[in-house]
Amino acid sequence: MRTGVRLPPPPFSDLLRGIPQYLISYGRLGDVHLKLVIFAFTFSPIIILDLVTKRWALEALSYSSSQLFGGLIPLTLAFNKGAAFGISIGEDSRWFFVPVTILALALLGGLLKQTSENDFLKIFSVSLVISGALGNLYDRVRWGRGVVDFIGPIDLGRWDFPIFNVADMAISCGAILLAISFWMEEQAQSRPRASEVVEQLDELEALKELPDKEVS
């Protein structure tokens, strides 16, 4: 036989008081899940495509180059020890780009965390840049030959566009979309300021039209 005091159930008001906090926590969890879903659907295909195409390039282009679309896009294996699109800052810059890339990834991760769940463009663009940066970082860490590039050089007439890879395309597209996202955000913030200025001008015009006695 049990002995002891049976505690009464908590008041209904206490239960209601806990509902808003639960909803807030659930909403934050949903925001995180949404960002992770967008990031996963962006990161997975890019990193897989980047790794697969680089492996193909190492096997198929080691002894001879190839081409796509009747020679419009040459395929040439190259090892880039510099920045994206073959931009070089020295012969052995591996251990310069590794910490710089890690720092950039940390900053991008912070930006992704602060981004609103409704800002799909910014989430997608940051995910693109992170995916491309991780793809090239993998090459820099695994060996000293540099990042595997194989698309190009593309003849643009007066100059040849540098050789690049899938990760470079993700970084470039993500950077452009991120710039567009910042521009759209700035435009959205400037509209309320403009409307406030217009309202103030309208009030001044209305005051000028009032008789001097009413104004005083």
Q: What is the dihedral of CA 152, 153, 154, 156, to 10 degrees?
A: 160
CA gap 184, 86 in Å, rounded = 31
Tokens of 101: 């890339």
Please, what is the angle between helix 166-209 and helix 12-60, to 10°? 130
The dihedrals phi and psi of 92, each to the nearest 5 degrees, come to -125, 90
Kindly list the catalytic residues.
149, 168
CA gap 79, 164 in Å, rounded = 10
Q: Determine if residue 149 is left, alpha or beta; phi over 0 gives left, psi from -120 to 50 gives alpha, anything else beta.
A: beta
Distances (CA, A) of 4 to 10, 117, 197: 18, 50, 70
CA gap 83, 198 in Å, rounded = 48
CA gap 146, 138 in Å, rounded = 10
